[in-house]
Each structure stands twice: as C-alpha cells, then as structure tokens.
C-alpha cells in the first residue's frame, strides 16, 4: 500500500500539471500523512518536511553545480566551444561525412568541459547545424547525431549528473568522475561508427583538406580550451582538488581564457551569463531539496525493502538484476526528465544495489548513462527538444533522425551490463 501511495501521489500531482519539484513535495506530504495515519510516524509534522527540505540543499558537494554551469556559459560565450569545433573540423572535416565526425569529436571534448547535456547540445547545434544544412546533409539525421553526442556530457567528467547522484547515494563523486571516462568515450565511438554507417548514402562533397601548417595553427589556437579537461582530471587523480574545487577551477579558467586570452567574453555580458547559470542552479537545487524530503520518507516507509522483495527472484544473478533495473530506468526515463529520475530512483534502487553486492560506482555510471539516454527519448526528451528548436523541425522528424544513434548508445549500455570490467578495470587504474 505504501508503494501505491508513493507512486499514486507523485503521478497524480504530475498529471495535474505540477512541476516535478512540487510533485515531489506533494509525494512527501502524502507519504507522511499516510505513515502518520497508520502509526508508522507519531504525527504529521510540517516542520520536519521544512527541515528536510533545507537539509537537502545544504550539501557542500552541490556547490560544484553552479560553478560547472557557469564554466559552460563562459566557454560558449568566450569562444572556447567554437575553437573546439574548429579543431575537429581541421582534422576530420575533409572525410566523407566529415561534419558528422566533427560533431562527435567536439561533443566528447565539450563533455569534458561543462558536464551539461543541454548546454553542450545547444552550443553544438548552433555552431554545426547551419553548416550541415548548408552542406546538404539530411537535417533530421544531423540533428539526431548532435543530440546523441550532447548526452555524452553527463557521463564524461565533469558531470553534473554524477554530482547529484553522488550526493543522493552517498557515493564518491571523484570515483564516479573517473569511472565515467571510458564509457563516455565508448558512447562517442558508437555514435561515430553509426554515423559512418548511415552517412554512406549522403552525397555531400567533403570540405577541402587543410595543409598541416594550417591544422597546427588552428590546433594551437585552441590548445587552451583542450587544457581544461587535462587540468580537471589530472588534478582529481593526483588529489590536488576535490570535484567541488575542480568546478571553481573550471569556472575561473574558462573566464580567464575567454576574457583575457581570446577576448571574446565581454564585461557587459557577464551579468546575463551569471544570471543564466543562477537560474539553472536554482532549478537543480530546488529539485534536489524536494527530492530529499521524499527520499527520507521513502526510507522511513521502508519502500526500498518492498522493492528489494519484488526483485528477490533476480538477486542471485547480478547481471540479470542490472538488466532488469536498466530496463526499468529506460522506461521511466521516457516520461521524466534527467534530474527528477535520478533523484526519485536513487533512494529506491541503491538499497537493492547494495544488498545484491553490486559496486555502487559501477551502478552509478550505468544509471547516469541510462538517464542521459532518456534525454533523447520522447515525449520529454529535453535534448531532443533543443535540437528541434535550433533545426526548426518537429519532434517526429528529430526522433527518426536520432533513432540509429539511440540504438547504438543503448547497445553500449547493455555491453557494460554484460562486461562490468569495462568500467571497473579502468577505474582501478585511474585510482592508482
């Protein structure tokens, strides 16, 4: 009955058109009222809800969120994103379907800079879609490729998704960051290979091959942009700074390079950039705070134990259990956005993961990858909506375009389910 109250109140609030954060609060209030009525809690106490709400946002690692978002704004406005695209264009633009490979390479590099799928996709779409359209590429397919590349951002560090999951699940964010590198690159390779397959029929003349001197000149011009992921990952591996401190380094670095080196970041635009990052941060923090209310009541109501009992038939086989949980997350991800899915399912599934003896970091990587894939599945599909707006196409066309790349990324996800060492062995190496 408790599970029905939890799911029913959440879905009912969403059906009434409430924002997800308010729906989570309604869910928490409903759970508390139900638990108070059957004696599981002494009484309904609104002060406890308020206290849990405040405590949910009062978490030091969450400070990384505004700084990584701010770094993304600085990179897009300061010319770092454009230089990354130019570098990729210089080296692979002359191949058949070259602009597609540019999109893939740029997506991987930009994912290692900002950690925001929506920001990366918006920047790539604005830069590359007009070029691909002018060159004669199929627009829905090009939009699908860029959307599929954009969702690499939550998997490759620095990832805002890993920060949210790490806080909610009490898992090392540094380990999550380092464990996400190989799976994120695998996602890029998968969509690159898929692009090679689908683009064979594209009758688009490739861009002219640049001379080696010109390539090196363009690469030198973007070296400072490429240095940022090296600084962040190297700093965390060597213990120089924590993920939260890395976010501050990323923001300061991108500001300094954009303002004083490339000189494309202007003082007059700073307020708008800070405001944009602040608004997005407010949404994320409100969601986290509201979810922590529900998470506490989920624990009090013993819902994780009930879910674990339902999954008891799969407990003896870790691989089968992971497969079942991944299918569940895929289904939920089609209806909910990234952050709400992470915040709702983490307190429910983590006790199952721990009871089954599955490595929490390994689960976290696949969990975040799965939620990222949900960003390109309708009807919600936030990233898909971004490319629809830039490309000026409808959702049906963009979904047809993204479908081959969606299958490729799902294949990588389930490959990681079959072979956990693809995540765990590189993590052990990084942690040495």
20: buried, middle or exposed (CB in 10 Å: 19+, 13-18, 0-12)? buried
Per-residue confidence (pLDDT) for residue 101, from 0 to 100: 94
The CA–CA distances, whole Å, from 25 to 10, 88, 293, 294 equal: 9, 45, 7, 7
Q: Report how far apart the first and last C-alpha atoms of the chain are (Å, whole number).
A: 47
C-alpha span between 413 and 199 (Å, rounded) = 23
Q: What confidence tens digit (pLDDT) does each residue in 74-84 have?
A: 988 998 988 99
C-alpha span between 204 and 142 (Å, rounded) = 13
The CA–CA distances, whole Å, from 428 to 175, 178, 302, 422, 431 equal: 9, 9, 34, 11, 5
Best CA proximity match to 337, nearest among 401, 271, 385, 397: 385
For residues 243 and 64, is the Cβ–Cβ distance under 8 A? yes
pTM: 0.89
Per-residue confidence (pLDDT) for residue 280, from 0 to 100: 86
For residues 157 and 390, is the Cβ–Cβ distance under 8 A? no
Average per-residue pLDDT in the chain? 89
Per-residue confidence (pLDDT) for residue 269, from 0 to 100: 93
Q: Could you tell me how far CA 300 lies from the centroid of its own chain?
A: 29
CA-atom Rg of the chain in angstroms = 22
Return the sign of the alpha-carbon dihedral for residues 42, 44, 48, 52: positive
For residues 272 and 265, is the Cβ–Cβ distance under 8 A? no
Per-residue confidence (pLDDT) for residue 219, from 0 to 100: 92
Q: What confidence tens digit (pLDDT) does each residue in 134-170 have?
A: 888 999 999 999 999 999 999 998 889 999 999 999 9
Per-residue confidence (pLDDT) for residue 150, from 0 to 100: 94
123: buried, middle or exposed (CB in 10 Å: 19+, 13-18, 0-12)? buried
Q: Which residue ranges in the chain fall short of pLDDT 50?
A: none
Per-residue confidence (pLDDT) for residue 48, from 0 to 100: 83
Per-residue confidence (pLDDT) for residue 237, from 0 to 100: 78
Residues for the chain: how many in total? Answer: 432
Per-residue confidence (pLDDT) for residue 320, from 0 to 100: 94
Q: Could you tell me how far CA 418 lies from the centroid of its own chain?
A: 22
C-alpha span between 320 and 235 (Å, rounded) = 37
Per-residue confidence (pLDDT) for residue 308, from 0 to 100: 76
C-alpha span between 142 and 393 (Å, rounded) = 11
**Omega cis (within 30) before 226:** no
Three-state secondary structure of the chain: CHHHHHHHHHHHHHHCCCCHHHHHHHHHHHHHHHHHHCCCCCCCCHHHHHHHHHHHHCCHHHHHHHHHHHHHHHHHHCCHHHHHHHHHHHHHCCCCCHHHHHHHHHHHHHHCCCCCHHHHHHHHHHHHHHHHHHHCCCHHHHHHHHHHHHCCCCCCCCCHHHHHHHHHHCCCHHHHHHHCHHHHHHHHHHHHHHHHHHHHHCCCCCCCCCCHHHHHHHHHHCHHHHHHHHHHHHHHHCCCCCHHHHHHHHHHHHHHHHHHHCCCCCHHHHHHHHHHHHHHHHHHHHHHHHHHHHHHHHHHCCHHHHHHHHCHHHCCCHHHHHHHHHHHHHHHHCCCCHHHHHHHHHHHHHHHHHHHCCCHHHHHHHHHHHHHHHHHCCCCCHHHHHHHHHHCCCHHHHHHHHHHHHHHHHHHHHHHHHCCHHHHHHHHHHCC
Per-residue confidence (pLDDT) for residue 196, from 0 to 100: 94
For residues 120 and 188, is the Cβ–Cβ distance under 8 A? no
């Amino acid at each position: 009955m408790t599970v029905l109250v939890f799911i029913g109140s959440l879905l009912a609030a969403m059906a009434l058109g409430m924002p997800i954060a308010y729906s989570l609060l309604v869910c928490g209030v409903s759970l508390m009222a139900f638990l108070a009525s059957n004696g599981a809690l002494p009484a309904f106490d609104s002060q406890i809800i308020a206290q849990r709400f405040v405590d949910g946002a009062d978490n030091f690692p969450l400070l990384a969120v505004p700084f990584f978002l701010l770094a993304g704004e600085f990179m897009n406005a300061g010319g770092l994103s454009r230089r990354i695209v130019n570098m990729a264009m210089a080296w692979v633009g002359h191949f058949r379907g070259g602009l597609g490979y540019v999109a893939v390479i740029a997506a991987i590099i930009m994912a290692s800079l900002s950690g925001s799928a929506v920001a990366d996709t918006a920047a790539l779409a604005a830069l590359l879609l007009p070029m691909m359209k002018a060159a004669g590429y199929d627009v829905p397919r090009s939009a699908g490729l860029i959307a599929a590349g954009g969702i690499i951002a939550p998997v490759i560090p620095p990832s805002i998704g890993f920060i949210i999951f790490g806080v909610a699940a009490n898992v090392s964010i540094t380990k999550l960051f380092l464990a996400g590198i190989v799976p994120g690159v695998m996602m890029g390779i998968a969509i690159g290979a898929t692009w090679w397959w689908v683009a064979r029929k594209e009758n688009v003349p490739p861009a002219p091959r640049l001379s080696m001197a010109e390539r090196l000149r363009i690469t030198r011009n973007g070296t400072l942009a490429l240095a940022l992921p090296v600084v962040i990952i190297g700093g965390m591996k060597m213990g120089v700074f924590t993920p939260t401190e890395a976010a501050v380094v990323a923001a300061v670095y991108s500001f300094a390079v954009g303002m004083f080196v490339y000189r494309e970041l202007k003082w007059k635009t700073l307020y708008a950039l800070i405001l944009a990052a602040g608004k997005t941060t407010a949404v994320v923090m409100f969601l986290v705070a509201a979810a922590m209310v529900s998470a506490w009541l989920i624990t009090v109501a013993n819902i994780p134990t009930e879910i674990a009992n339902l999954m008891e038939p799969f407990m003896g086989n870790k691989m089968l259990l992971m497969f079942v949980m991944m299918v569940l997350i895929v289904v939920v991800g089609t209806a909910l956005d990234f952050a709400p899915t992470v915040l709702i399912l983490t307190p429910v599934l983590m006790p199952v993961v721990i009871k089954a003896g599955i490595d929490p970091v390994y689960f976290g990587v696949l969990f975040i990858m799965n939620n990222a894939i949900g960003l390109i599945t309708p009807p919600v599909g936030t990233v898909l909506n971004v490319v629809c707006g830039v490309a000026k196409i409808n959702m049906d066309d963009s979904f047809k375009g993204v479908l081959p790349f969606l299958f490729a990324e799902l294949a990588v996800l389930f490959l990681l389910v079959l072979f956990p060492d693809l995540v765990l062995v590189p993590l052990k190496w990084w942690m040495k």
